Amino acid sequence: MIDLSRYRGIIFDMDGTLIDSMGSHQEAWRLVSEEYGYPWNEEYMYSLGGVPTLQTVVVLNEKYGMSHNPEEVANRKKQLWENGDHTPKLIADTLAVFEHYRPSMKIGVGTGAERAHAIEMLEATGILPRIDALVTASDVKNGKPAPDTFLDVALQLGLTPAECVVFEDTQIGANAAAAAGMDCVIVKDGKIQC
């Protein structure tokens, strides 16, 4: 088990870190990319994991020189995702950390997902009633890679940034943790990178 004894709190990203839901999100992005003419690059899209959907559309428009309405594309992505198979499953490695440290540490979730989606996923997996704080894209003005999400979780936990460690699966999330002054543990393909 990874030694986190120097911290008082753990902040998990949700999609791709605590809950394996990235596949269904990727499929929705692939379909929306086809509909709106964005070139499909799975690796690039995965690198944007944790970025709020609306902001992802802005990034795609800038990258590919397009001017699609961000709200329209974001709503279509949400619709495609909701119509797909997105049964949430907990990721074994991070769940083991959660279970091991839950009795002695405060635990929060800081996600780029919208609040309704985050609550649905965390309830479906039984995690929601077991966490001490939840901050979503709906709760902050500046999503990842800005530090706001993780700073707000630390505030809700009653801890300083230095007392928290973040678990993330994307570079954008790791950048947000660094900007918040927090150490970060990377989770890649469901495995904790030490």
Distance CA 90, CA 80 (A): 22
User: What is the arithmetic mean of pLDDT over 73-97?
Assistant: 88
What pLDDT does 22 receive?
A: 66
Give me the sheet containing 133-135, strands edge to edge. Answer: 133-135, 106-110, 9-12, 164-168, 183-188, 191-193
User: What is the arithmetic mean of pLDDT over 112-129?
Assistant: 93
Look at residues 66, 83, 100 and tell me which one is the last residue of a structural domain: 83
The model's confidence at residue 122, banded by pLDDT at 50, 70 and 90, is very high
Task: Indicate if 27 and 17 belong to the same structural domain.
Answer: no
Structure tokens at 98: 């959660």
* Longest CA pairwise span in the chain (Å): 50
Whichever domain contains 146, its CATH number is 3.40.50.1000
User: What is the arithmetic mean of pLDDT over 133-157?
Assistant: 96
Task: Indicate if 32 and 104 belong to the same structural domain.
Answer: no
Residue 173 has pLDDT above 70, yes or no: yes
The reply to whether 4 falls in a domain is no
Distance CA 186, CA 166 (A): 8
Task: Indicate if 14 and 42 belong to the same structural domain.
Answer: no
Distance CA 22, CA 27 (A): 9
What pLDDT does 21 receive?
A: 72
Q: Residue 59 belongs to what domain range?
A: 22-83
Q: CB neighbours of 42 closer than 8 A, spacing ≥ 6?
A: 26, 30
- Tell me what the pLDDT averaged over the chain comes to: 92
What pLDDT does 35 receive?
A: 95
Residue 23 has pLDDT above 80, yes or no: no
User: What is the arithmetic mean of pLDDT over 67-79?
Assistant: 94
Distance CA 179, CA 86 (A): 31
The model's confidence at residue 190, banded by pLDDT at 50, 70 and 90, is confident
The reply to whether 1 falls in a domain is no
Residue type, 125: T
Catalytic one of 3, 13, 132, 189: 13
Residue 152 has pLDDT above 90, yes or no: yes
* Residue 13 annotated in active site: yes
Task: Indicate if 145 and 60 belong to the same structural domain.
Answer: no
Distance CA 181, CA 79 (A): 36
User: What is the arithmetic mean of pLDDT over 6-25?
Assistant: 89
Question: Of 37-51, 74-88, 100-114, where does the model show the most confidence?
Answer: 100-114
Residue 85 has pLDDT above 80, yes or no: no
What pLDDT does 83 receive?
A: 84
Q: Are strands 183-188 and 191-193 parallel, antiparallel or unpaired?
A: antiparallel
- pTM, two decimals, is 0.73
Half-sphere exposure of 40 (CA within 13 A, CB side): 12
The model's confidence at residue 86, banded by pLDDT at 50, 70 and 90, is low
Q: What is the end-to-end Cα distance of the chain in Å, rounded?
A: 11
| Count: domains in the chain | 2
What pLDDT does 81 receive?
A: 85
